[in-house]
Structure 1
Amino acid sequence: MRVLLIGSGGREHALAWALSASPLLTELFAAPGNAGICEIARCVALDVADHAAIVRFCREQAIGLVVVGPEVPLVAGIVDDLAAAGIRAFGPTRAAAALEGSKAFTKELCREAGIPTAGYAAFADRDAAMAHVAAAPLPIVVKADGLAAGKGVTVALRRDEAEAAVDAVFAGGPAMVVIEEFLEGEEASFFALSDGRTVLPFATAQDHKRAFDGDAGPNTGGMGAYSPAPVMTEALVEATMERIVRPTVAALAARGIPYRGVLYAGLMICADGPKLIEYNVRFGDPECQVLMMRLKDDLLTLMAATVDGVLDRTSIRWHEDAALTVVMASRGYPGAYATGSEILGLDRAGAAEGVEIFHAGTRREDGRVLAAGGRVLDVTARGASVAEARERAYRAVDLIDWPEGFCRRDIGWRAVARERQGRA
């Protein structure tokens, strides 16, 4: 099968790495790819916002499956346009992608289907939103309704922080803001595959959103992750499937919107069970990197089964090992940062035991690998425990020569603490 992978980040490098091992694959293309992806796929300079150009390329190259990595083309309806041209694609339609494209849509769906989530109110009017903030108990969570690259959420401890977050949402003109109650608990990332009827649990992970050690600093797209998430016991996995994921897919189907693809539920594990924070309609980044390291079955086979509606005949197996990824970012991220600095030592670091280095924001120039984004590398390792995976990942980080980059040094701290308690 000839496959086109759309995207250019660390998630897409991890997907390319997994797809390249499939016995079903005959050739892998990536649009546009990055310096790492281009080592295992044929990168093509396609504008992923130009759906007609994507369709033409797929016809010319006899592409058997398109795998859409990022959320923006999904929300823009690329799967719909490919389907109209008779081209198979892994990912939800525009209507189904509203689960990520509009937080207000998701909250309304949750209310209709009785899915446990934070109490909320949605506003298209700034003054009404401000009045709600003035009366609501603190802390309070303010979310931009649409896509925000993982950074459109403010957990406000003070009233002025919440007001500033509301102002930021409306600063660019007409908008929608969702204001939620603050949930107490531990966050986890839960993934499932859905073919519109059958839903299979994929795996669990936990990520670290804050920029600096100790969960300090601004929110980012993610500074590291590990899998499995120890907080997600078998009972919690089943509760999440029964109370959240399956009812969501059923509610969409009742609206005539079959959900096909991967569904990523951001959860808060509260005293009374799991509650939905938000949905993403694609693999998380950097969670995808640790999931691909642990996946035992063939990714391309699973994706094809999802698209073809035969997940009821499919199962998913995992390596018992844990996996952990450390994001190396350009100094200044998630604020202003410089690009173009050279990264050395990648071959040496990538040769370390149990380690894979996924490129997130890189480009190759005159044989050199240069930083080309905010999040630049995902140094990922497997190990018999989260602690061992972390030790291997940071050993590889220390072999990379990139003074212009930084990373957190405490990825996986909750899981490592649990492991230590279990041995005590």
Structure 2
Amino acid sequence: MNILLIGGGGREHALAWKLKQSPRVEKLYCVPGNPGLASLAECVALDITDNEALGRFALAHDIGLTVVGPELPLTNGLVDHFTALNLKVFGPSRQAAQLEGSKAFAKGIMHKYNIPAAASAAFADAEKAIAYIQEQGAPIVVKADGLAAGKGVVVAMTVEEAIAAVTMIMQDKAFGSAGNLVVIEEYLAGEEASLLAFTDGFTVAPMIAAQDHKRIFDNDQGPNTGGMGTYAPAPVVTEAVRAQVTREVLQRVVDALRQEGIIYKGCLYAGLIITEQGPKVIEFNARFGDPETQVVLPLLNSDLVAVMEACVDERLADITLEWANQAAVCVVLAADGYPGSYTKGDPISGLDRVQAQGAIAFHAGTGCKDGRIVTNGGRVLGVTAVANDIQAAVAKVYQAVSEIKFAGMQYRNDIAHRAFNRK
């Protein structure tokens, strides 16, 4: 069949790489794609928010399955539009995607249906939000309600920091209309982890737990980013924790949405913190994580197309996911200045030598200039390696990273450090 993949980052490169392994795939198209994806798919220059144009393309090219990568097309109703055109599409509807698109909506569902999460309150008025912070004290967490490219969250260690965050989000409009509402949450102590799952709106099939590294510098220092690297499996998510999260978080939220009249199909991402009282939800995402996808999918032995079709057709209960008994590590190579303003257009060398090290370089923010691959985003590449255990995967991935060069390249040297500390 012909498949259409929506998106153009590292997550989509990893999805394309896995989709192409299926014997079901005849032709893969990607909108808009990137230079790395171009070796796997035909890249098409369309706007990912133009539902009408995407629908016309899918009908004209006999697309049998569309896979939506980023959150924006989901909250923009792309799945609803394709469903109305009788096109198969993997991803949640606009209503279901509110689980990511509105933190206040997600919190409302969690509180109503007893899904373990931080205590919180939502405010449309900055003065009321500040009064609440002064009453609660710090540390405390301030979140923009809407989509903010993974950057609309401030973990404030002082009341002053929290108030500054409210001012930045609500009054300075650092994230535009995403900050019309803020959610103030209690600070939870513990180790973070991500557990993604496939779901058809009834059955939930969890993937292998991963752990992201959000801070820009080693030892979790510096500002938050979209993610500087990840590894799987994350040992903090024991079999007992995984079973508890599947039962009390993933299955419960899918059932809750169904009770609200919403059938959630696609990938459901639970961002967790493992506290002394047990796992609690930090946030939900309505799609594959980035860079979690880059370590989870290389460990999946099952045919991804078959799994996605089962989600769309509400027969996921018939599928058994098969996983490699291995470990995967991804190190993100970022541009100079990221997560602030960064340079673009710097030539990248050494990509041809990564494969020789047994690793994969997933393109996240690259472009083409005069026939050369150049930097074109904050997170430029995600280098991933798979091995029999975390230690071997770490050694393998950093050997591959050492082959790549571009001006101002920055990356963390301690990806998977918590796994080592735990061992």
Alignment TM-score > 0.5, same fold: yes
- In the alignment, the residues of structure 2 paired with residue 112 and residue 89 of structure 1 have an alpha-carbon distance, to the nearest angstrom, of 29
1:163 CA displacement: 0.6
Contact residue 363 and residue 381 of structure 2 kept, 8 A: yes
1:215 CA displacement: 0.2
- In the alignment, the residues of structure 2 paired with residue 283 and residue 49 of structure 1 have an alpha-carbon distance, to the nearest angstrom, of 18
Match of residue 121 from structure 2: 121
- After TM superposition, the structure 1 = structure 2 runs for residues 7-406 of structure 1, keeping only pairs within 5 Å, are 7-170=7-170, 171-172=172-173, 175-353=180-358, 355-406=359-410
Deviating more after overlay: 85-94 vs 169-178: 169-178
1:53 CA displacement: 0.3
| 2:370 maps to amino acid | D
1:364 CA displacement: 2.0
Aligned residue for 2:209, secondary structure, equals strand
Structure 1: 5+ residue stretches without partners: 420-424
Match of residue 422 from structure 1: none
- In the alignment, the residues of structure 2 paired with residue 372 and residue 350 of structure 1 have an alpha-carbon distance, to the nearest angstrom, of 22
Contact residue 137 and residue 159 of structure 2 kept, 8 A: no
| 2:400 maps to amino acid | A
| 1:378 maps to amino acid | G
Contact residue 145 and residue 181 of structure 2 kept, 8 A: yes
| 1:400 maps to amino acid | I
Of the candidates 404, 412, 415, which is equivalent to residue 416 of structure 2? 412
Aligned residue for 2:271, secondary structure, equals strand
1:263 CA displacement: 0.3
Aligned residue for 2:63, secondary structure, equals coil
- The runs of 4+ residues in structure 1 deviating greater than 4 Å are none
- In the alignment, the residues of structure 1 paired with residue 266 and residue 399 of structure 2 have an alpha-carbon distance, to the nearest angstrom, of 35
Contact residue 138 and residue 157 of structure 2 kept, 8 A: yes
Match of residue 2 from structure 2: 2
Structure 2: 5+ residue stretches without partners: none
Aligned residue for 2:96, secondary structure, equals coil
1:200 CA displacement: 1.1
Aligned residue for 1:106, secondary structure, equals helix
- In the alignment, the residues of structure 1 paired with residue 2 and residue 357 of structure 2 have an alpha-carbon distance, to the nearest angstrom, of 31
| 2:399 maps to amino acid | R
1:343 CA displacement: 0.1
1:339 CA displacement: 0.2
- In the alignment, the residues of structure 2 paired with residue 147 and residue 133 of structure 1 have an alpha-carbon distance, to the nearest angstrom, of 22
- In the alignment, the residues of structure 1 paired with residue 408 and residue 39 of structure 2 have an alpha-carbon distance, to the nearest angstrom, of 24
Aligned residue for 1:304, secondary structure, equals helix
Aligned residue for 2:403, secondary structure, equals coil
The Cα RMSD (Å) is: 0.9
Contact residue 345 and residue 369 of structure 2 kept, 8 A: no
Aligned residue for 1:86, secondary structure, equals coil
Aligned residue for 1:351, secondary structure, equals helix
1:262 CA displacement: 0.6
Contact residue 254 and residue 264 of structure 2 kept, 8 A: yes
Q: How many residues align?
A: 418
1:84 CA displacement: 0.8
- In the alignment, the residues of structure 2 paired with residue 243 and residue 302 of structure 1 have an alpha-carbon distance, to the nearest angstrom, of 23
- In the alignment, the residues of structure 2 paired with residue 351 and residue 365 of structure 1 have an alpha-carbon distance, to the nearest angstrom, of 25
1:277 CA displacement: 0.6
- In the alignment, the residues of structure 2 paired with residue 11 and residue 212 of structure 1 have an alpha-carbon distance, to the nearest angstrom, of 22
Aligned residue for 2:137, secondary structure, equals coil
Deviating more after overlay: 396-405 vs 92-101: 396-405
- In the alignment, the residues of structure 2 paired with residue 325 and residue 280 of structure 1 have an alpha-carbon distance, to the nearest angstrom, of 20
1:276 CA displacement: 0.6
| 1:14 maps to amino acid | A
Aligned residue for 1:276, secondary structure, equals strand
1:330 CA displacement: 0.2
1:366 CA displacement: 2.8
